[in-house]
Chain A
Amino acid sequence: MFVLLRQLATIRQRADLTREGSRWLAIRHVDAGSCNGCEHELGAATNPLHDLQRHGLDIVASPRHADILLVTGPVTTRMASPLRSAYAAMPEPRLVAALGDCALGCNVLGDAAEHVGAVEDVLPVDIRIPGCPPTPDAIAEHILAAIERDF
């Protein structure tokens, strides 16, 4: 299976398809040690009142299908390795978003020995979404603003 996946990744890379005029970005979420508040609000972002998909953003089941890795929580010692694996499984180009104050390293509570640090201590962070937790609308706004500004 690995060979097939690599073939597909290579084909995709060489095809160099453009996406002008439309946007469809797939987000893969990883909980690296959150209190579940950010998960609730990310879920709420896809409910009918907020409808993340209308912005051309959707949440997918596998990092192999994802453009953006959205990470919540301070990174605990036991989630650092799974988090790196999820990032490594993504095709390029890829972005990392840190969702919530903990992921940004702000006001992290707990025993320092159980944490490896903020998300940016583990992965290169492109999009920062503050809040405890960020509201569903703030999640969409920050991702869209960052994409339109920087990429």
Chain B
Amino acid sequence: MTALHHVEPGEWRRSIERALGAGERFGGAWARAQDGGLSWFALIVSAHGVRVIWTEAPGGAVGSIVELVEAAGWDEREAHDLYGLEFDGHEPIRALVTHPEDPAAWMTPVTGDGVHQIAVGPIHAGVIESGHFRFHVIGERILAMDPRLFYKHRGLERAAEGRHRDAALPYVQRACAACAVANTLAYAHAVEDAAGLQPNRELRVARTVLLELERIYNHLHDVGAICAGVGFAPGTMAFAALKDRAQQINAQAFGHRFLFATIAVGRGRVELDVAALDAMRAQLRELRTDSRAAWRELEFAGSLQARLGGVGVLGRDDALRLGAVGPAARAAGIREDVRTLAPRLAYEGFTPAAPHAPAGDVEARLGLRAVELEASFDLLAALLVAPLARGSVGRVEDRGSVGIGRVESARGATACAVELDGDTVTRVHLRTGSYANWPALAWATAGNLVPDFPLINKSFELCYACVDR
């Protein structure tokens, strides 16, 4: 069960400061409304695990921590918009989820000679999710970019609350197709954490296989998307076909191209017999061979390679400051991966991938996908040595009320916080790798040329759907 530490409202900033001083990191924050009052929770992450600090918000206000942790900026803005929570010291607190008419209510003021704005979206030119980007530019040079997301806010968390823990899971899955396994697994882990349940070896292996299959099709997709970002059609098409083959493997083995409905709370939902296992192993071997061959072609494609270096740089210090996670953080030299600390999954001995050069640019983020693909194929080869059984959970602890699940999705650390009353979900909050990385993407955009934005955007390849929820 995740440790829950209550602090007095007046001690909020100081307790966060102490945690950071002790080397712990901020991992997300969420509000909860109960009995007419508001509470405020923060997830604190260390090399040994996670814990939660929480406090009440008397009069609907709590001290802001954005001066200590810039990464908490979006969390505070979201709680302000959705729960009306006020943050002392977060001024001005700009709208994030709500869409006020007044530009000053949500945009960074950027003024000066020759500064103008370019508004893009919410509808984009391709088959892309809906969201708005406001570029502040001089000529072709981007000074700053304000992303305005939440066009697809569906109130999924609110709608899930009050439901049985099994009935709430589809709401988490609906947040995002491309992160369906990661998100539902984070949710299942959170509920099992709160309920004092621990998966057995079979269940850990089956869930790890699903998570890696999700990563493989996403990483193949992302490599193709980066090719599309520079108009390198042969690469786009080759990797689109590879991604499709990965999804066909998903469909053949588990009945769905996006692995929907493969995760359940407190039990396994998938199995593979000997014949299906052999088929999957053979298909993955072929896919790996062809992916390597396609990757080599990209390495020698001058018109692609010439566009990657020094573009969209997210340096190590900025990545840390802004709370970047996943491939975006690792490409900047931060060797962090939730898979190194995953007792609920089968990642024994896992080490995070390292880029050839942690430059934090498009080239590093692209190269890291190739390294991580190899690692995922290795993991699957090691796990798929025996038929997969559904597995089960056993009770190891007493039942608690709050649980945390943390999983490494294709986009980085995805955290789910769940509060239970018996088997009823009273609060669920999902903070995905994309949510953590959007401010970092906006930062990495500054100083670049407008025509490079699609490329920079694709090199992060963040979801809108699981941010908007």
Q: Do A and B come from one complex?
A: yes
Known contacts: A31-B129, A43-B240. The answer to whether A78 contacts B177 by CB under 8 A is no
Residues of A within 8 A of B125 (CB): 61-62
User: How far apart sit A37 and B257, CA to CA, in the bound complex (Å)?
Assistant: 10
CB atoms of B153 and A35 under 8 A apart? no
Q: Is A49 an interface residue (CB 8 A)?
A: yes
Looking at the complex, which of A7-15, A18-26, A108-116, A119-127 is the stretch in contact with chain B? A108-116
User: How far apart sit A122 and B122, CA to CA, in the bound complex (Å)?
Assistant: 18
Question: Residue-by-residue, is B162-176 near A (CB-CB < 8 Å gives 1, otherwise 0)?
Answer: 000000001100111
CB atoms of B154 and A115 under 8 A apart? yes
Q: Is B307 an interface residue (CB 8 A)?
A: no
Q: Is B152 an interface residue (CB 8 A)?
A: yes
Residues of A within 8 A of B260 (CB): 132
Q: Is B54 an interface residue (CB 8 A)?
A: no
Q: Is B159 an interface residue (CB 8 A)?
A: yes
User: How far apart sit A59 and B265, CA to CA, in the bound complex (Å)?
Assistant: 40
- Mostly, the B contact residues are loop
B44 to chain A, nearest CB (A): 29
Known contacts: A36-B463, A82-B122, A110-B155. The answer to whether A42 contacts B127 by CB under 8 A is yes
Q: Is B156 an interface residue (CB 8 A)?
A: yes
A111 to chain B, nearest CB (A): 3
CB atoms of A109 and B123 under 8 A apart? no
Contact of B237 among A41, A47, A78 (CB under 8 A): A47
Q: Is B99 an interface residue (CB 8 A)?
A: yes
Looking at A43, A46, A62, the one whose CB has the most chain B CB atoms below 10 A away is: A43
CB atoms of A35 and B151 under 8 A apart? no
Residues of B within 8 A of A82 (CB): 122-123, 130, 151
Contact of A114 among B126, B153, B170, B176 (CB under 8 A): B153
User: How far apart sit A61 and B159, CA to CA, in the bound complex (Å)?
Assistant: 34
CB atoms of A36 and B156 under 8 A apart? no
Total inter-chain residue pairs, C-beta < 8 Å: 114
Known contacts: A33-B154, A76-B153. The answer to whether A39 contacts B170 by CB under 8 A is no
Residues of B within 8 A of A47 (CB): 237, 240-241, 243-244
Contact of A39 among B99, B128, B156, B243 (CB under 8 A): B128
Q: Is A29 an interface residue (CB 8 A)?
A: yes
A38 to chain B, nearest CB (A): 8
User: How far apart sit A36 and B176, CA to CA, in the bound complex (Å)?
Assistant: 6
CB atoms of A36 and B123 under 8 A apart? no
CB atoms of B126 and A111 under 8 A apart? no
Looking at A29, A31, A62, the one whose CB has the most chain B CB atoms below 10 A away is: A31
CB atoms of A36 and B177 under 8 A apart? yes
User: How far apart sit A79 and B260, CA to CA, in the bound complex (Å)?
Assistant: 25
CB atoms of A79 and B152 under 8 A apart? yes
Q: Count the A residues whose beta carbon is within 8 Å of the partner chain — how many?
A: 41
Question: Residue-by-residue, is A40-56 near B (CB-CB < 8 Å gives 1, otherwise 0)?
Answer: 11111011111000000
CB atoms of A35 and B177 under 8 A apart? yes
Q: Is A133 an interface residue (CB 8 A)?
A: yes
CB atoms of A34 and B244 under 8 A apart? no
Within 8 A of A (CB), among B213-262: 221, 237, 240-241, 243-245, 247, 257-258, 260
CB atoms of A109 and B159 under 8 A apart? yes
Q: Is B464 an interface residue (CB 8 A)?
A: yes
Residues of A within 8 A of B150 (CB): 78
Residue of A nearest to B121 (CB): A82
User: How far apart sit A110 and B172, CA to CA, in the bound complex (Å)?
Assistant: 10
CB atoms of A33 and B126 under 8 A apart? no
User: How far apart sit A28 and B286, CA to CA, in the bound complex (Å)?
Assistant: 35
CB atoms of B241 and A49 under 8 A apart? yes
Within 8 A of A (CB), among B332-353: none
Residue of B nearest to A115 (CB): B154
Q: Is B442 an interface residue (CB 8 A)?
A: no
Contact of B128 among A31, A44, A46, A49 (CB under 8 A): A31
CB atoms of B178 and A79 under 8 A apart? no
Q: Is B6 an interface residue (CB 8 A)?
A: no
CB atoms of A40 and B177 under 8 A apart? yes
A-B complex: 5 closest residue pairs judged by Cβ atoms: A111-B155, A37-B177, A110-B154, A47-B240, A61-B125
Given pairs A31-B152, A37-B177, A109-B159, 18 additional interface contacts (CB within 8 A): A30-B123, A30-B130, A33-B130, A34-B152, A36-B177, A36-B463, A40-B258, A42-B127, A47-B240, A48-B240, A59-B127, A78-B153, A79-B122, A82-B122, A82-B130, A110-B154, A111-B155, A114-B154
> Residues of B at under 8 Å CB distance from A?
99, 122-123, 125-130, 150-156, 158-159, 170-171, 174-178, 221, 237, 240-241, 243-245, 247, 257-258, 260, 463-465
> Residues of A at under 8 Å CB distance from B?
29-44, 46-50, 59, 61-62, 73-74, 76, 78-79, 82, 86, 109-111, 113-115, 132-133, 135-136
A-B contact pairs, 8 of them (CB 8 A): A31-B130, A34-B152, A36-B178, A39-B129, A49-B245, A50-B244, A76-B154, A79-B152
